[in-house]
Homo-oligomer: A and B are copies of this chain.
């Protein structure tokens, strides 16, 4: 399992240098790397201008290089050194400007003087450079040559989709986004953990549910995907997770769906509680990722987020400081495990009903002690408590919560009682 964390971190490292955005070759190239791990992953292209509810797919953006030459001829804000130096979706530019003029196009963070901020302008054509505040303060008066070798053109928005079929056409949905350039917790942790979950799911025996896994650009990708698939999604998805910020070591966090008590919410709360993880519960009002779309009125999918440290809640967020040192093998593994356990609980969940009235005679089946004493063993107590709620109206997950036992500790009991025909599926 330590290998798993290490392997995920290695994949993050491989993906880190690529300049991704909501469209373009960086996204395609990143997806191709995941495709190596997940042969079934399909890249879908949606042309610029395609209508998606109230939005339309923007032009495709690609960039080959960018830098500023300062009055002394020194190259600064070099895209090749750090792709965050260029504002995302910057239009091409190649001219000389005064420092005053340049300042209008610079972005820095006075409160984090060593960080290059992450800035984008997807829907208004602009150009800009991002710079540490420390470097910006040292800029001298004079002429600056600004150069951005980018291209905005009719093209496509790319996303990845992997459908892993199960016994049921009912689906569990996993969504993650892949549109950020060189940043690690937000966001490389999301696609990488998702890819390893997908590999595990592909190998799962007796998979009950179908899994719909998408790797998209944030916001416009979710809207685009929904506009093409929301009817089937609404009819089939029973639970879903938005996977983001699952790579650092500092915290676990839960952000509920709009409804707040969907199956996804129930399972995540059950898992976090019974794994005895300290975790922060956010409000849906604190949301800021694709649950904005998945939980919007009329869409209302049962999607929540379980994270390590939430976007917006750590100082390095959306800066060059969100780097490969921020995420760790154990951090990634922790994120992976909570999602895996949640999925295992969903697979274990069903609604059972007792086949006999009153308690069954379990002694004659070898499931109950034949000597009556002062105390019952905890396993016996859990079994009897589980049975007491199998009324055909409560799911295994709901019963596990009621009797305060992790669902995964009831697996053996459930199997035995079903085998003995004391319980039957509803």
Contacts and interface: CB of A to CB of B under 8 A. Distances in A.
A209 to B, nearest CB: 25
A358 B124 contact: no
Nearest to A394: B297
Contacts of A284: 388
A403 interface: yes
Interface in A215-268: 219, 222-223, 226-227, 230, 258
Interface string A344-355: 000000000110
Nearest to A121: B371
A3 interface: no
A317 B404 contact: no
Interface stretch (A63-71, A166-174, A360-368): A360-368
Interface string A411-426: 0000000000010000
A295 interface: yes
A322 B299 CA distance: 59
Interface residues of A, number: 68
A74 B155 CA distance: 102
A318 interface: yes
A120 to B, nearest CB: 4
B374 A54 contact: no
A31 to B, nearest CB: 22
Contact of A226 (B53, B293, B357, B364): B357
A141 interface: no
B124 A361 contact: no
Pairs A-B, 6 closest by C-beta atoms? A297-B391, A124-B370, A120-B372, A54-B356, A54-B360, A293-B358
6 contacts: A121-B371, A122-B372, A123-B363, A258-B389, A284-B388, A298-B357
Interface of A: 52-55, 88, 107, 109, 117-124, 126, 219, 222-223, 226-227, 230, 258, 284-285, 287-288, 292-293, 295-300, 312, 317-319, 353-354, 356-361, 363-364, 370-376, 381, 384-385, 388-392, 402-404, 422
